[in-house]
Amino acid sequence: MLRQQLRPGTARRTQSPSLTRRFVSRSLIRAPVACRAQLSEESALAEAFESALLEAQQKGGARQRGRYTEEPEPEDERERVFLVGAAIKGEQKKYTYDVHESVEELGRLAETAGLKVMGSTFQMLDAPNMSTYIGSGKVAEVARAVAALDVETVIFDDELSPGQLRNLERALGGTGPDGLPVDVRVCDRTALILDIFSQRAQTREGQLQVELAQTEYQLPRLTKMWTHLDRVGGGGQVKGTGEKQIEIDKRLLRDKAAQLRRELEAVRTHRRQYREKRSSTPIPVVGICGYTNAGKSTLLNTLTGAGVLAEDQLFATLDPTTRRVRLKGNKEILLSDTVGFIQKLPTELVAAFRATLEEIQDASIILHVVDISHPNAAAQNEAVMQVLTELGVDHIPIVTAWNKIDACSNPDEVRRIAAKRSRTVCISGMTGEGLQQLMEVLGAELEKAMVEVHALLPYSAGDLLSDLHTGGRIKNLEYKEDGVEVMAAAPRSLAGRLQALGYLLNELEGEDEDEDDGVVLLA
């Protein structure tokens, strides 16, 4: 259960085969040289041996006076971490990560944060230990691994309470070779994700959201930092003993959080105004969502040439990007990329990134990108759908793109299954496979969301006629003395504008109920 890796430099060195090769070559070369006067063939053979010796020297590296000189390997200065997971019996769902897969994902998160994973372990629990989350025996096992692997930080796969953090740091700390105590830091999955977000946020909005999430996370966890401090002496008009240091810091953090919320509210107001302005135009918005590293940015780059950072890492991009795409029939849509989701997504992040996630709430269609080549595609789909439910976007039509079909071991079988499901397309954002079909499905779904309009537009309202051409589908057009009579399918927002201006000649139809979400994956 416990996987350990040797530290650099502790592995036993083996004798270099080049030494033997050098000895054999020199022995072989002496015999032909001694017989050079006898046979010309042996002279040629000696030259061949000399060439072989020169080649061996070039492959074996530089030699000085018969000794090798090797370049020292650069020392790995990354922080060494050890991972701990736990599975609570009875909490496993049909589509979810098991403890092995969850710890493996935690390792990828650690590598994304620039850490070096030295090993990992897990434990099956009936219920979490209130003091240390895992059992005392497992704590002792982790402590031995920490000492053996010279680990600096232990990362737990689940969120820990302040008391559990404090007790684990005490239990895992030890004594160094010099007899001095060695501190071992303990953190959880939430703190690790927040650290990654703080490294990746580029815009002021993203930085504000991460900072607020970190502040909310730190607030209840200050106890372990200040237990050694007594009350601070009062000053000025305050008599007697003053506030405890922890009370001062909590107050400062609360003030900081309040200021960050005010700044984020200003951001939300700006985004709301931008969306209202955007909704006045007939161009529909398609919100791209999906599990982290599902290939959303690669897909956006392939479709639009957006130039968004796309790496094989978790949370490679955080800040939303919106680009315009032209569909068949000269129709345009706006593709809006959002932050990737992940299982066990911290509640602090969902709350802090609400301003960004509201882009999905105002979308005409949600494009759910799934890495269908991933062994846990079904579990990742379940995690994304949970977040979408929390955001209250169940009523928005969802088109599912099974991405990375080129990386599947059985692509034909996956395509066969996808063909039986509504609004599901197999694509490859890397090679471009299936993208034309995806655009056709998006266009069809957008037209389904349109409403039939019969309007008489005055000749002074040429902008509305242009909007109908751009964002809708003109079915019939007739020029009359008092204006242009038009029959068309139009986005509901545009139809609402026509109705408000009194140009509609018909009543708007009600919204159809959408029963099939088309997001069921392989069992």
Query: Residue ranges for the binding site for Mg(2+)?
Result: 297, 317
DSSP conformation class of 515: -
Place of tokens 């959002």: 338
Using the Cα atoms of residue 54, residue 56, residue 59 and residue 62 in order, give the sign of their dihedral: negative
Place of tokens 């094989």: 312
Does residue 122 contact residue 2 with C-beta atoms inside 8 Å? no
Helices (H), 280-337: 296-304
Does residue 298 contact residue 428 with C-beta atoms inside 8 Å? no
- Helix 354-361 / helix 245-279 crossing angle, nearest 10 deg: 30
DSSP string, 388-433: HHHTT-TTS-EEEEEE-GGG-SSHHHHHHHHHTSTTEEE--TTT-T
Q: What angle do CA 166, 167, 173 make, to 5 degrees?
A: 90
Distance (Å, whole) CA 274 – CA 286: 16
Q: What angle do CA 149, 154, 156 make, to 5 degrees?
A: 135
Three-state secondary structure readout of 31-76: HHHHCCCCCHHHHHHHHHHHHHHHHHHHHHCCEECCEECCCCCCCC
- Binding-site members for GTP are 290-297, 315-319, 337-340, 403-406
- Binding-site members are 290-297, 315-319, 337-340, 403-406
